[in-house]
Amino acid sequence: MKVSHNQNIRNVAIIAHVDHGKTTLVDCLLRQSGIFRDNEVVQERVMDSNDLERERGITILAKNTAVTYKNIKINIVDTPGHADFGGEVERALSMVDGVLLVVDAFEGPMPQTKFVLRKALEANLHPIVVVNKADRADARPHEVIDEVFDLFLELGASDEQLDFPIIYASAREGWARKEIEDTNTNMEPLFEAIINHIQPPACIQDGPFQMLVANLEYDNYLGKYAVGRIKRGIISQGENIAVIKHDGTVEKGKVAKLFIYSGLKRIEVTRAEAGDIIAVAGLTEVNIGETLADANHPEQLPVITVDEPTLTMTFMVNNSPFAGQDGEFITSRKLRERLYRELDSNVSLRVEDTDSPDAFQVSGRGELHLSILIENMRREGYEMQVSKPEVIYKTIDGKLMEPMEHLVIDIPEDCMGPVMENLGRRKAEMLNMVSTGNGQVRIEFNIPARGLIGFRSDFLTETRGRGIMNHTFNGYEPYKGDIQHRYNGALIAWETGEATTYGMLQAEERGLLFIQPGMKVYEGMIVGMNNRDKDLEVNVCKKKHLTNMRASTAEETVKLKEPRILSLEEAIEFINEDELVEITPNHIRMRKKVLDKNERAKYNKQVNMMKAQ
């Protein structure tokens, strides 16, 4: 079969560290390619279509778009920057021939720059380096290019990959330039670089159809779409095709509708050929990593391989006293269905049944990966409880090994003391420290993944919100010893009822509260953090006895301290092994696994006896 190159197509992915401007750059390319009408109102970061993406300002899901420049179609895949979404990056790279590596003109290469670039080099893709935010007052583009080159060498790039073109850009201002001194005000140099330096897709036009499913999309009308790049042959609407499963079994399917991408829209077509990125509707049972092939010649393509999970949690049916008050889906059957359905599109996730029909083991790439799943589920109307995250250990050559993370922090110099002390307790090993000017310092560490659980909230407190931290998976190393997760005990509600100002006033002398007056609590629910290292029961529902001497309006003048309302991630980080986070569409509560105070005392006694043995 003859291999040719489709000169009318370029397939490129945009990769970068989180917040270096990938999605804003895609916005620019879309606007300047004439995709939108002159009078069309387009929101910023138009590719971040998921609610959570827009709220958090990060890309979670890889997405496809396409622009046309000089009669050449450029398919663009926007990828996440977080290492937690590595599975999304690996899928995206299976569809393209080159990458735009976006690097901040001040920050330079960061941990996730290294992560995504390694993936691209391993896939033998050709890079274009885009030094973004070159309009920053503190930009240092030439030093950043040197750092990028060093990173390419460190990752073992080939001579061809090292010969990368450099584009300086400001996605916010809408320009890209070959030289920093140029004065053009459009993205034309970047379009030209894509056409001239990214290889046209290699295609086998005359063979039987073959395509790897790299992504799934959904809508309410046609259901599931299988997205991928045609490796070989031609596909037509209405055609019968084979779906080759991961295990090699073959199922029959029919192409109900066929689409290509143009801007943010899917355009229906009757046929598509090798090299193009398409979406196929009508295949209800198709999953990521499976092969679509000619019905008469079903040949399987290599399955996408993704990094193994490093963190695991137990998802359970909510059995708290307030269970079922908020959620629409509360049974173990509904919870199990939803978790296993997530596996269809979330390739980095693992779900396993446990001995209990009401509990499921869910493993992912990190806290963010799992918390995004939980947040999506609660917004869909699910109630559940989750356990403290635990790292996944491995035994290699008879040694217990644990996952490590490469941590990079940017902090003010006056915060170094408490941050370094905290990281020391978490078994972090310092690798490098450099001053970045303006009283800021960048420090790199190798730290056990479990040492990072709960660190982010400490870090923000210790740097008074001025610190930036990033980390990425750094392999497995021998077990580093015990790490104390939390140095404070919990304040636990003594009884079920409604929190009163009077009761909370008594309790806040003991520590920091997580609740507000009028909030309903139940016995065994965690309502705050103790000043000391032991758990303590407090009666936040206590009411002031009314007498002739004391009027009921007297407590209105009392001023409580501002409570700390924990986010989902903070709650997951806070809990200990004997605690759970209860999650409903409207509430996030922390609780003890054993709610009754007497039963809890017996349980703790048994646990301590087992530890002593």
- Binding residues for GTP, as ranges, are 19-24
Strand partners, 468: 410
Give alpha helix (H) positions in 412-466: 416-425, 455-462
Annotated binding site: 19-24
Q: How many CA atoms lie within 13 A of 127 on its CB side?
A: 30
Q: How many CA atoms lie within 13 A of 279 on its CB side?
A: 23
How far is the C-alpha of 359 from the C-alpha of 15, rounded, in Å? 37
How far is the C-alpha of 378 from the C-alpha of 370, rounded, in Å? 13
**Three-state secondary structure readout of 313-359:** EEEECCCCCCCCCCCCECCHHHHHHHHHHHCCCCCCCEEEECCCCCE
Amino acid at 612: A
Whether the Cβ atoms of residue 597 and residue 588 lie closer than 8 Å to each other? no
| Strand locations in 133-194 (E) | 166-170, 175-177
How far is the C-alpha of 160 from the C-alpha of 169, rounded, in Å? 23
* Rounded alpha-carbon distances, angstroms, from residue 447 to 213, 416, 452, 476: 36, 17, 8, 11
How far is the C-alpha of 152 from the C-alpha of 158, rounded, in Å? 9
Q: How many CA atoms lie within 13 A of 237 on its CB side?
A: 12
Full DSSP string of 252-287: EEE--EEEEEEBTEEEE-SEEETT-EEEEES-TT--
Among 189, 161, 160, which residue's Cα sits nearest to residue 174?
Answer: 189
Strand partners, 536: 491
First to last CA, the chain: 68
Cα dihedral 323, 329, 332, 336, rounded to 10, equals -140
